[in-house]
């Protein structure tokens, strides 16, 4: 896969803590993401992968190094400007779903549009559209407590892509799911990358996710230690199965 990178991180360093308690969590990490690919960032606990994801998502600022999103440098941006850049270009998927328990699936997606200034019927229609796209057209009015873990994570994915971000960042998206739902969520993320031409990066240590990746980047002790790429033309069979289920549910 080739294309102009939508995200470029170069020589990222991140120090956590101060003085004698300071830890260098990232030690010069570089990564670029292009549209149409699902990239996995894999490493053991404490390797720095979640810290790196937070920097890529403009939640943390690096101690040193540079980050460009959609061609714009994050250097010297104020917290408000970073938040605006994040709202325009980045969608997040969290391990714990982070859904509002008193809101329906439709309302949970609509609220993500509301904070971006999209309201009224257009926002409602868009929320319904993306929920149907992830196979939850029959769950629009369901509350999180009435959804399975896999369904809750698909609502979270719908919320992340509702505003059409160019980048989707997922933090351990399968960690709280059983095998069947974990495969379904990874197939969904892979399909979003390819069919919607987005850059999708998932932080994980789950070996079940490997077959869905176009690229696997490995991190240990705050450094990139390896990278592997899926051979051209090879696709995970579960992608086709998920598409069939999505169409069946309308």
As a whole number of angstroms, the distance between CA 49 and CA 86 comes to 19
Nearest to 202 by CA among 71, 88, 84, 43: 43
Predicted local distance difference test score (pLDDT) of residue 206: 86
* Residue 116 contacts residue 108 (beta carbons within 8 Å): no
Q: Is 63 helix (H, G, I), strand (E, B) or coil?
A: coil
pLDDT at 240: 40
Sorted by where each starts, the structural domains of the chain and their CATH numbers stand as 7-249 (3.40.50.300)
- Quick check: 147 and 103 in contact, CB under 8 A? no
- What tens-digit pLDDT sequence spans the chain (250 residues)? 457 999 999 999 999 988 888 999 999 999 999 999 999 999 998 899 999 999 999 999 999 999 999 999 999 899 999 999 999 999 999 888 899 999 999 999 999 998 888 888 889 999 999 999 999 999 999 999 999 999 999 999 999 999 999 999 999 999 888 888 889 999 999 999 999 899 999 999 888 889 999 999 999 999 999 999 876 655 554 444 444 454 455 4
Sequence-separated contacts (24+) of 82-87 with Cβ below 8 Å? 82/58, 83/58, 85/58, 86/57, 86/58, 86/59, 87/115, 87/116, 87/163
Q: pLDDT at position 237, please?
A: 46
Q: Taking a C-beta distance cutoff of 8 angstroms, is the pair 235, 247 a contact?
A: no
173: phi then psi, degrees, rounded to nearest 5: -70, -15
Structure tokens at 123: 């926002």
The pLDDT assigned to 246 comes to 46
Q: Beta-strand (E) ranges in the chain?
A: 7-16, 23-33, 37-42, 64-69, 72-73, 90-93, 167-171, 199-204, 215-220, 223-229
Residue 227 contacts residue 55 (beta carbons within 8 Å): no
């Amino acid at each position: 896969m080739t294309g102009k990178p939508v995200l470029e991180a170069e020589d990222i360093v991140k120090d956590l803590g101060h003085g004698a308690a300071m830890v260098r969590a990232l030690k010069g990490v570089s990564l670029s993401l292009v549209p149409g690919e699902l990239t996995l960032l894999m490493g053991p606990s404490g390797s720095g992968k979640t810290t790196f994801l937070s920097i890529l998502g403009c939640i943390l600022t690096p101690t040193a190094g540079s980050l460009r999103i959609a061609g714009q440098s994050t250097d010297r941006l104020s917290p408000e400007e970073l938040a605006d850049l994040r709202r325009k270009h980045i969608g997040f998927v969290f391990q714990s779903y982070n859904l509002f328990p008193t809101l329906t699936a439709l309302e949970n997606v609509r609220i993500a549009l509301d904070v971006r200034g999209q309201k009224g019927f257009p926002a409602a229609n868009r929320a319904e559209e993306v929920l149907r796209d992830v196979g939850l057209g029959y769950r629009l009015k369901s509350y999180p407590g009435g959804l399975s873990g896999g369904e809750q994570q698909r609502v979270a994915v719908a919320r992340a892509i509702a505003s059409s971000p160019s980048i989707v960042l997922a933090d351990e998206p399968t960690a709280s799911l059983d095998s069947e739902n974990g495969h379904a969520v990874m197939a969904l993320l892979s399909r979003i990358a390819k069919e919607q031409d987005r850059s999708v990066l998932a932080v994980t240590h789950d070996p079940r996710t490997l077959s869905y990746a176009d690229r696997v980047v490995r991190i240990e002790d705050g450094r990139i230690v390896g990278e592997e790429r899926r051979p051209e033309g090879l696709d995970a069979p579960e992608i086709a199965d998920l598409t069939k289920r999505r169409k069946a549910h309308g």
